[in-house]
Structure 1
Amino acid sequence: MSKRSEAAPPRVWSRSVRLLHLGLIGSVTVAWVFREDLGPAHEVAGYVALGAAALRCAIGLAGQGHARFGQFVRAPSDTLGYARQVLRGTAPRYIGHNPLGGWMVLALLGCIGLLGASGWLYTTDLFWGYGWLAWLHAALGWTLLALVALHVGGVVFTSIAHRENLVKAMLTGRKAPPGPGDVDGSQPSGQNP
């Protein structure tokens, strides 16, 4: 691991991004815990998660810095190249989201959006009682659980690989300053670091 500069830790994630992240953790957890009863707690938690995901998408499109999708969502070829670097143990440290993390953000937000939409549809007169919709909603719930497990695994793996506490970084919004070989992520999407 290369030495990092002694500069002040840069702010990577804004308070709004961090609060939405925590809101998603809480609301998805509540929705999952109450998945069998499908009562008000499950429904309210689902709408909170859907709202938080929608706000995060708005920030991703119109926000600034490391919160913008265009800052951290890389082209598929760049992401596959990064995945090969991870497998070889030569992946650089990113100040914002790394390419795999960027695509994971999109997958998580997309899955939450589909879960919220399918849950809402199930409450409408037009779609009430359809088995295929209940099956789809349940399958999306399990898909989200798998994505969360992959996300947490990626955070743990990357924290160990780069000797950096990414959970603390998400709570404080700050990461260690860039060092030699680190990628600040400021290149537009689709360009190699």
Structure 2
Amino acid sequence: MTAAENMETGREGARSVRAWDPLVRLLHWTLVTAILLNAVVLEEESRIHEYVGWIALGVVVTRMAWGLIGSKPARLRSFLPNPRAALRHGAELLRGEKTVHLSHNPIGALMVWNLWACIGGLAATGYMMGTIQFFGMEWVEELHEAIFGWLIASIVLHLGGVLLDALLSGDTPGAPMTRGRRRIPDGARVE
């Protein structure tokens, strides 16, 4: 390992590799901002709430499109949802095995697809509430609220997973999504 790599990682015996490209990071933080705005700042029935919801959906669609042509860690095929792989990964974590994933780990992959599905469900039910056919229908509003509740619970689990990953890898929490690089301890298995 070079002196520059040691300085960059801040740890002896670790190297830093590129993980998330700038577009993935921009889309991630734009989605975070949109969710925060609609959850905390904006009035639920305001026009701007609707616009921010459409922006969130646009971010997810753009991210999925980038997943077809973007960098290798950003490719959708790098983190297809696989419950069996997620269970295997969980068992590896319990055994103390450390595999570093340049993309999402198998549990994180399930979470990403879950979060994207929540945004799609919120957009669909939000749209429905504004149509003549579904306007004022209580079940649509309740479904919208239930999806939002699931989204918030999922975000809390996601943040817990980020903290656990940082603890196990020795990396700074959220560093790959802020600086675009991931620390890899020497000898760690990389996928």
With the length of structure 1 as denominator, give the TM-score of the two structures. 0.85
Aligned to 1:3: 13
Aligned to 2:135: 128
State the SS of the aligned residue for 2:133: coil
1:148 pairs with 123, 142, 155, which one?
Answer: 155
State the SS of the aligned residue for 1:136: helix
Greater RCO (CA < 8 Å, at least 6 residues apart):
1
Aligned to 1:180: 187
Identity %: 34
Greater mean alpha carbon deviation, residues 26-35 or residues 137-146? 26-35
How do residues 163-178 of structure 1 correspond to structure 2 at under 5 angstroms?
Answer: 163-177=170-184
Amino acid at match of 1:57: M
Amino acid at match of 2:106: P
- Residue 72 of structure 1 and its aligned partner are, at CA, apart by 2.3
- Residue 61 of structure 1 and its aligned partner are, at CA, apart by 3.0
Greater mean alpha carbon deviation, residues 130-139 or residues 9-18? 9-18
Q: How many Å separate the matches in 2 of 1:132 and 1:79?
A: 33
Aligned to 1:38: 45
Residues 154 and 14 of structure 1: is their aligned pair in 2 closer, same or farther, counting only changes over 3 Å? same
Greater mean alpha carbon deviation, residues 38-47 or residues 151-160? 38-47
Q: How many Å separate the matches in 2 of 1:40 and 1:74?
A: 34
Q: How many Å separate the matches in 2 of 1:47 and 1:113?
A: 10
Contact 2:169–2:185 (Cα < 8 Å) also in 1: no
Whose strand fraction is larger, Structure 1's or Structure 2's? 2
Cα RMSD between the aligned structures?
A: 2.1
Amino acid at match of 1:112: I
- Paired positions, count: 181
Q: Within the alignment, does 1:53 sit opposite 2:60 as a pair?
A: yes
Moved segments of 4+, more than 6 Å: none
With the length of structure 2 as denominator, give the TM-score of the two structures. 0.86
Aligned to 1:188: none
Unaligned runs of 5+ residues in structure 2 are: 1-11
How do residues 16-35 of structure 1 correspond to structure 2 at under 5 angstroms?
Answer: 16-34=23-41
Q: How many Å separate the matches in 2 of 1:37 and 1:139?
A: 14
- Residue 143 of structure 1 and its aligned partner are, at CA, apart by 0.4
Aligned to 1:13: 20
